[in-house]
Structure 1
Amino acid sequence: MNRRVFAKQTALGSMGLALTPQFTLSQTTFKDFVSKRPPKKERLFTSKAIEEVIKKVKKQLKDPELAWLFENCFPNTLDTTVFYKEEKGRSLSHIITGDINAMWLRDSTCQVWPYVPFANKDEKLRKMIVGLINWQADCVLVDPYANAFKKDKSEVSQWKDDLTDMKDELHERKWEINSLLFVIRLAYKYWKTTGDTAPFDANWENAMKLIYQTLLEQQRFDNLGPYTFMRETTQANEVIANNGYGRPTRKIGMIHATHRQDDACVFPFYVPDNLMAVVELKHLAEMFKTILNNTTYAERCLKVADQIDSAIKEYAIIEHKVFGKMYAFEVDGFGSQLLLEESTIPNLMSLPYIEACDINDPVYQNTRKWLLSEWNPKFVKGKFTEGNGSTHYFEPPKRIWPLSTISRALTTDDKEEIMFCVEQIKRSNAGTGFIHESYLPDHPEDFTRPWFSWVNTYFGEMILILLEKYPKLLS
């Protein structure tokens, strides 16, 4: 790979992207790339199908460091985070994030997502995914407003004293719309991949009805709904306005949230989650109708999806003085808007990845240009590196999040931009063999979270997608 960096012209000038031959970050100094995976006897879960994928892809990748990273990262969720069991013939999978011993609904779906296409080739893997579908349904029935759950009720959460309805099963109770959307996303993908409808029993149907009911409640047409959240803290990103309900809104059909990606919303209509809701409510409607023969709930889901879609088009697409029509990050329905970016999924960068729009959609393309410019307060540019940061850590210092760089690579057809992203992600491992949550620009050795499984498997997914879409690009 050429050691080049994406040099961007300012938004006030040409919006074209250009590559320049500057560089570089430190080179890997060792010659032999030794596997960083746990010994076989210490791996929590194994899959013959995934091991075959690793062997195949390592042969395809001619860059030895990239092949080494794929070998370490792609199976990281299976190796280190899956706790699988069977109770009364029912599969159950609890999947922790890595160095946080709890299961996020969002993260757990994303962690197993790249494995779903191989479910038909490995019965053991298929049952593990079914186990997660089952566990997620159980979690929703415990509390549809919670984002993270314990493996065992006896564990003590550091957030047990939060001023909200904390139940014994909960690790944390932040209301993020996408927590429920990712539950739908996994079930739909599994069904479309395998054709198997066995997991979608009465328990699962009740969980899906509760998801619908919760999303309906948070449109807040009639009242504020049952959820509030307060926390004793000195951190501004943990504080929810108006006694835990969030700032005032016009009731326009979009879904209210108090949080997005762990942080408090400024305005309650988080646009990426609402765009994702349109997609997943349509998926849920299809499952209600086709699998469960429940046309009533199918029609209800489609009605809410249409309400959200109409509201987004009217209130969440704004006119920027430089970039034209683009998506806002958060809005309130009164005309207030926040222009920002988050690094995890869904965010503005990842909209085509979550199927919320086409990659060539003009509004998305304008949004993407804004995202990769100095107009975006979370765009981080170093001497040799650039990328999007997160609201989750306040500057200084500003950090680059590889999750966002991966999403960038997956939402462009520009091969030079793709290779630029791949190179930056590769170098961000800093010789550890794994991808991390975030790192300082030009100093990848200064990173957060050495064990963050989601970004590792997302990296593996990116490699698989790129090899399929551009077979010669990485070889």
Structure 2
Amino acid sequence: MTTRRNFIKKSSLGFGFFALPASAKFIYKEEYISKRPPISRRKFTSDVVERTIQAVKKSIADKELAWMFENCFPNTLDTTVKFYHKNNKSYTYVITGDIDAMWLRDSSAQVYPYLSLANEDEKLKNLLKGVINKQVECVLLDPYANAFFDDATKISEWKDDFTQMKPGIHERKWEIDSLCYVMRLSYSYWKTTGDTSVFDADWKKAMLLILQTFKEQQRKDSKGPYRFQRSNGNPLDTQFAGGFGNPTKKIGLIHSMFRPSDDATFYPFLISSNMFAVVSLRETAEIFSKILKEENSSGQFKDLAQEVDEAIQKYAVLNHPEAGKIYALEIDGFGNALFMDDANVPNLLSIPYLGYRSKEDEIYKNTRKFSLSKANPWFSEGKFAKGIGGPHIGEHKIWPLGLIMQALTTDNDEEIISCLKMLKATHAGTGFIHESFDVDHPKDFTRSWFAWANTLFGELILHLHTTKPEILKRKF
């Protein structure tokens, strides 16, 4: 019989952090030549980013880790951005990497680590402002879409999806977190730079449309205007019940038809994304109050955040037979729940990173132990790594995003070093972070050009450079 104590011992957090990974040096040569494109082929350059790369590299004792940081941190700027002006405003189109489309989620996360440097480089600051302006344009085109083209004449491979596809849309999967990431970037840009010029009439209109969309997807009075189905035969790419998803009891939570992995939800109340919505709504309420001086609108954002937060605490905290009291990933309001965690952010592991609860919150600590254990059906362990994957790729593969988030949500030095060792051992000699890899065969990976993962790795190294520089002074 599995007891609570035995569960903790059997979890990833109970095995000892240095059991994995095995050395990977026999797989590829120890050559650390920059993998960045030549300067003439880089999409965007920033003096402060280049200075930061050199300064941080010098602080990293492990040559391989320093090399990975040099390759990964500027990858978004080097390879994915298109900066231009239109109607006296700056715009920045940010592709995800190997797919020529701009995801609201990915683009926000890809540029987020550069915010801390924005005040030292006006050109970089304008690029970030351009991302916000472009995202606003996308939201106003369709708040239910997750990915967009810069060229409205481009034809999407998903043009035949059973949903309302408009010109300029690459994909129309409704994901709460897409809009949360837009709000997060706007708020963080303001808090970092003090620049309020982005909060113009278009921005305000987009935020109110986000509020409207969230309320529509509470579905209190009707199913709302959004439905989605796809006929490619992949069950993760389509939705139940004519495109509206499985039935729910209307309890104040926001329906999300897809996860941040772009996989379909099984139960439409995706808890990690509802948590993200609580935080983002409150941040946007602050902008409407302090900058726009619109207390009525601010109050509407606050009220929705409070309603969603109360519903999370009332309905999403459940007893798992092994892990105890934890957050479920998905629920339907009828008492059904999905106990798992997915590596894509927002996930349950990322709760403190999102700002929803602290690392010391007891329910979060239980949830984290569950996520990083074999009680989570999408936790895998092999010769080179152990961590969280997800159904998007399948069993035996984990996502480096999960390893990076694990390191970002702990203060335990040994756990952080373990995550760094696994990231080092599984880049398969490329010097970049991939979407996923096989835990026993790191050369079996998906997506060689995945900018979100690269930049999030850079964010982790910058975080450690500031908060735990002694870790970077070690070789491992």
1:189 matched to which residue of 2?
Answer: 188
2:22 matched to which residue of 1?
Answer: 24
> 1:325 is paired with a residue of what secondary structure?
strand
1:241 matched to which residue of 2?
Answer: 240
Letter of the 1:428 counterpart = T
223 and 31 in structure 1: CA distance in 2 versus 1, 3 angstrom threshold: closer
Task: For residue 236 of structure 1, report the CA deviation from its aligned partner.
Answer: 1.2
- Cα deviations across residues 208-233 of structure 1 (Å, max 9, x unaligned)? 11000000111111111100001112
Give me the whole-angstrom Cα distance separating, in 1, the residues matched to 2:194 and 2:276: 23
Task: For residue 29 of structure 1, report the CA deviation from its aligned partner.
Answer: 4.6
Task: For residue 25 of structure 1, report the CA deviation from its aligned partner.
Answer: 3.5
2:273 matched to which residue of 1?
Answer: 273
1:299 matched to which residue of 2?
Answer: 299
> 2:78 is paired with a residue of what secondary structure?
helix
> What pairs with 1:14-413 in structure 2 (closer than 5 Å)?
16-20=14-18, 24-27=22-25, 29-261=28-260, 262-395=262-395, 398-413=396-411
Task: For residue 31 of structure 1, report the CA deviation from its aligned partner.
Answer: 4.4
Letter of the 2:438 counterpart = L
2:438 matched to which residue of 1?
Answer: 440
Give me the whole-angstrom Cα distance separating, in 2, the residues matched to 1:113 and 1:378: 27
Letter of the 1:302 counterpart = K
Give the TM-score of the pair, scaled to structure 2.
Answer: 0.95
> 1:406 is paired with a residue of what secondary structure?
helix
Give me the whole-angstrom Cα distance separating, in 2, the residues matched to 1:343 and 1:20: 21
Task: For residue 12 of structure 1, report the CA deviation from its aligned partner.
Answer: 7.0
Q: Which structure features the higher share of helix residues?
A: 2
Task: For residue 61 of structure 1, report the CA deviation from its aligned partner.
Answer: 0.4
2:7 matched to which residue of 1?
Answer: 11
1:25–1:442 CA contact under 8 A, matched in 2: no
Task: For residue 412 of structure 1, report the CA deviation from its aligned partner.
Answer: 1.0
> 1:70 is paired with a residue of what secondary structure?
helix
Give me the whole-angstrom Cα distance separating, in 2, the residues matched to 1:68 and 1:268: 42
Return 232-241 or 189-198, whichever deviates more.
232-241
1:470 to 459, 468, 471: 468
Task: For residue 258 of structure 1, report the CA deviation from its aligned partner.
Answer: 0.8
> 1:472 is paired with a residue of what secondary structure?
helix
Letter of the 1:80 counterpart = T
- Cα deviations across residues 336-377 of structure 1 (Å, max 9, x unaligned)? 000111111100111111111101110010001111111110
1:343–1:404 CA contact under 8 A, matched in 2: yes
2:118–2:125 CA contact under 8 A, matched in 1: yes
Task: For residue 10 of structure 1, report the CA deviation from its aligned partner.
Answer: 5.9
> 2:397 is paired with a residue of what secondary structure?
coil
Give me the whole-angstrom Cα distance separating, in 1, the residues matched to 2:267 and 2:292: 36
Return 77-86 or 225-234, whichever deviates more.
225-234
Letter of the 1:78 counterpart = L
1:10–1:373 CA contact under 8 A, matched in 2: no
- Cα deviations across residues 118-160 of structure 1 (Å, max 9, x unaligned)? 1100000000000010000010000000000012012111001
Give me the whole-angstrom Cα distance separating, in 2, the residues matched to 1:273 and 1:119: 28
Task: For residue 23 of structure 1, report the CA deviation from its aligned partner.
Answer: 5.4
2:418 matched to which residue of 1?
Answer: 420
- Cα deviations across residues 392-432 of structure 1 (Å, max 9, x unaligned)? 1234xx20100000000111111111100011011221111
> What stretches of structure 1 of length at least 5 have no aligned partner?
1-8
357 and 12 in structure 1: CA distance in 2 versus 1, 3 angstrom threshold: closer
1:430 matched to which residue of 2?
Answer: 428
Letter of the 2:306 counterpart = D
2:104–2:179 CA contact under 8 A, matched in 1: yes
- Cα deviations across residues 260-285 of structure 1 (Å, max 9, x unaligned)? 12111100100000011110000010
Letter of the 1:129 counterpart = L
- Cα deviations across residues 179-220 of structure 1 (Å, max 9, x unaligned)? 100000000000000110011100110001100000011111
> 1:158 is paired with a residue of what secondary structure?
coil
Task: For residue 20 of structure 1, report the CA deviation from its aligned partner.
Answer: 5.0
214 and 21 in structure 1: CA distance in 2 versus 1, 3 angstrom threshold: closer
Task: For residue 32 of structure 1, report the CA deviation from its aligned partner.
Answer: 3.8
1:460 matched to which residue of 2?
Answer: 458
> What stretches of structure 2 of length at least 5 have no aligned partner?
none
Give me the whole-angstrom Cα distance separating, in 2, the residues matched to 1:23 and 1:98: 28
Q: Which fold has the larger relative contact order, with Cα–Cα distance below 8 Å and residues 6 or more apart in sequence?
A: 2
Give the TM-score of the pair, scaled to structure 1.
Answer: 0.96
19 and 229 in structure 1: CA distance in 2 versus 1, 3 angstrom threshold: closer
Identity of aligned residues (%): 49
Task: For residue 26 of structure 1, report the CA deviation from its aligned partner.
Answer: 2.2
2:393–2:436 CA contact under 8 A, matched in 1: no
Give me the whole-angstrom Cα distance separating, in 2, the residues matched to 1:258 and 1:159: 17
Give me the whole-angstrom Cα distance separating, in 2, the residues matched to 1:358 and 1:324: 19
1:11–1:374 CA contact under 8 A, matched in 2: no
Give me the whole-angstrom Cα distance separating, in 1, the residues matched to 2:59 and 2:85: 37
Give me the whole-angstrom Cα distance separating, in 1, the residues matched to 2:21 and 2:157: 43
Give me the whole-angstrom Cα distance separating, in 2, the residues matched to 1:17 and 1:330: 28
1:6 matched to which residue of 2?
Answer: none
Measured on the aligned residues, the alpha-carbon RMSD in Å equals: 1.4
